[in-house]
Amino acid sequence: MKTGIVGAGSWGIALAALLDKNGHEVTVWSIIPEEIEMLKTEHEHKTKLPGVILSDKIRFTTDLEKTVKENELLILAVPSPFIRSTARSMKEFVKDGQIIVNVSKGIEENTLMRLSEVIKQEIPQAKVAVMCGPTHAEEVGRMMPTAIVVGSEDAAVSELVQNVFMNETFRVYKSNDMLGMEIGAALKNVVALAAGIADGLGYGDNTKAGLITRGIAEITRLGIKMGGKAETFSGLTGIGDLIVTCASMHSRNRRAGILIGQGKTMKEAMDEVNMTVEGVYSAKAAMGLAAKYNVELPIIEEVNRILFEDKPAAEAVGDLMLRDKKFETGEISAE
């Protein structure tokens, strides 16, 4: 299948390698001419995904119109803050019914819209799917066994995307809970910042386990209130994605959190990581959703205070630990 990947970051490049391996014609677009020139001459993204050598069959371009018009399937892989502007630039070139698979994770801060909603608003003629799960580009690009989920409101779209991507190292499941998938994918990045901050403070495995467990409780609480399915948050796009993002040094959110825990400012941490730290952009949006749906998100709230109010990280942890006493999962009847 002729496939265009809009975005040449680490995830877009990893998926390009995967789709090429599966026998599809692949074109990768970037707005940055120097990036495209590097990919054309080196067949490797030296800064974002070093060590993953790309086939000379993959095409690289800065021509967005050709990328959209000449490919049947489009993969949107730009950072979440640029989803709307990129979708708006694509709109006039997208055919009726053309499939766009969003693989970015986040919530739009000023509208509180999920990214699939943003794409549909900007490109109403497209069929939109989302694909997410515990998938570090560094491992997918090297064809390490990975499981992921594709979701769409159209079952035929989900099946097509599943068939395009699935192979012996990349297992693709289907879901019809796009909302739950996207909330889990976006908010896990905020919890991963908290996990990194705890690492930076020198805390241990007990702390990490507590953050992951209580973090998924917060994500699930909000997601269900918004209309997501409980099962989604116990699956790959919920607890699975949260575990990998909180535990791995591939995670830019965890790495940024570590630097903040060690005393660096949010900006200093983001500059050092030198990649988009999606959790920073989703943190405020998460609190907006919490207010809209009247849901408590204590971990995410403290992350916001650390990021945007310069609250000392150790103080935030202390406040979390000394919150009002309560049952873990609600009072359980003796019957």
CATH number of the domain at 71, please: 3.40.50.720
Each residue's pLDDT tens digit, 24-59: 999 999 999 999 999 999 999 999 999 999 999 999
One domain for residues 164 and 219:
no
List the single range of 9-13, 72-76, 246-250 with lowest mean pLDDT.
Answer: 246-250
Stretch 102-125: mean pLDDT, rounded?
96
For the chain, how many structural domains are there in total?
A: 2
Each residue's pLDDT tens digit, 284-305: 999 999 999 999 999 999 999 9
Which of 156, 176, 196 represents a domain boundary (last residue)? 176
Q: Examine residue 90 and state whether it is found in any structural domain, yes or no.
A: yes
One domain for residues 201 and 233:
yes
Which of 160, 176, 192 represents a domain boundary (last residue)? 176
Q: Examine residue 330 and state whether it is found in any structural domain, yes or no.
A: no
Domain span at residue 56? 2-176
Q: Give pLDDT, residue 321.
A: 85
Q: Examine residue 102 and state whether it is found in any structural domain, yes or no.
A: yes
One domain for residues 151 and 24:
yes
One domain for residues 36 and 48:
yes
Which of 176, 195, 224 represents a domain boundary (last residue)? 176
Cα distances from 306 to residues 31, 38, 207, 265, in angstroms, run 33, 37, 17, 9
One domain for residues 261 and 170:
no
Residue 217 scores a pLDDT above 50: yes
Residue 276 scores a pLDDT above 80: no
Whole-number percent of the chain with pLDDT over 90: 88
Q: Examine residue 326 and state whether it is found in any structural domain, yes or no.
A: no
Residue 334 scores a pLDDT above 60: no
Q: Examine residue 328 and state whether it is found in any structural domain, yes or no.
A: no
One domain for residues 145 and 270:
no
One domain for residues 74 and 191:
no
One domain for residues 169 and 195:
no
Q: Examine residue 329 and state whether it is found in any structural domain, yes or no.
A: no
Q: Examine residue 192 and state whether it is found in any structural domain, yes or no.
A: yes
One domain for residues 163 and 242:
no
Report the catalytic residues.
188
CATH number of the domain at 226, please: 1.10.1040.10
Average pLDDT, the chain: 94
Q: Give pLDDT, residue 323.
A: 80
One domain for residues 196 and 279:
yes
Each residue's pLDDT tens digit, 161-186: 999 999 999 999 999 999 999 999 99
One domain for residues 40 and 140:
yes
Q: Give pLDDT, residue 332.
A: 47
One domain for residues 54 and 168:
yes
Q: Examine residue 33 and state whether it is found in any structural domain, yes or no.
A: yes
